Amino acid sequence: MAAMKAGKASLQLSSVPLQMLFFLNGVYYGFYFLATLLMVIYKSQVLSYPDGNLALDLALLFIMAILEAIRLYLGVRGNLKEEEVSVGISLALTVGSMLLSVYFMVWQTYVLRADVIVGAVLLVIYGLEAILDVTAIAAFASAYA
């Protein structure tokens, strides 16, 4: 089925693998958020957090959740509507999400092995999404240039 954009007929360019990865990421991030929140609560009960570090870890976790929701919304919307700008913004937000994920894997106050495992899986998903984001942006840009 041909779609019309900017007066040109083209094939459907939305990436099915990218869309599936966005869905998988949404489901996995729900697990990641809950697991990380529970681990922070556990560490706050068992270990002594320095002043302010517990609030920082929790604040960054909730900022990451908001960032993730925006990132996934823009990515899904951009992919379905074949808008390279939305997918590009989603890709840029992926970098921020990756940095926050690395924070929880390496730099947070106390790091458990479980933090590293769930964070590594999330980073792999982000990496795959980034590759597919770039591919989708290139396809959209070349088709509508």
How wide is the angle at C-alpha 36 spanned by C-alphas 34 and 37, nearest 5°?
65
pLDDT recorded at residue 9: 55
Q: Where are the domains of the chain?
A: 15-143
* Residue type for position 10: S
pLDDT recorded at residue 59: 97
Rounded to whole angstroms, the Cα distance separating 8 from 101 reads 41
pTM over 0.85: yes
What confidence tens digit (pLDDT) does each residue in 13-58 have?
899 999 999 999 999 999 999 999 999 999 999 999 888 899 999 9
Per-residue confidence band for 10, with pLDDT thresholds at 50, 70 and 90: low
Summarize the confidence of residues 81-98 as an average pLDDT: 96
pLDDT recorded at residue 93: 98
Instruction: Give 145's DSSP letter.
Output: -
User: Residues 97-123, buried b or exposed e (16+ Cβ, 10 A)?
Assistant: bbebbebbbeebbbbeeebeebbeebe
Summarize the confidence of residues 84-101 as an average pLDDT: 97
pLDDT recorded at residue 144: 76
pLDDT recorded at residue 2: 43
Q: What Rg value do the Cα atoms of the chain yield, rounded?
A: 18
What confidence tens digit (pLDDT) does each residue in 121-130 have?
999 999 999 9
What confidence tens digit (pLDDT) does each residue in 51-81 have?
889 999 999 999 999 999 999 999 999 999 9
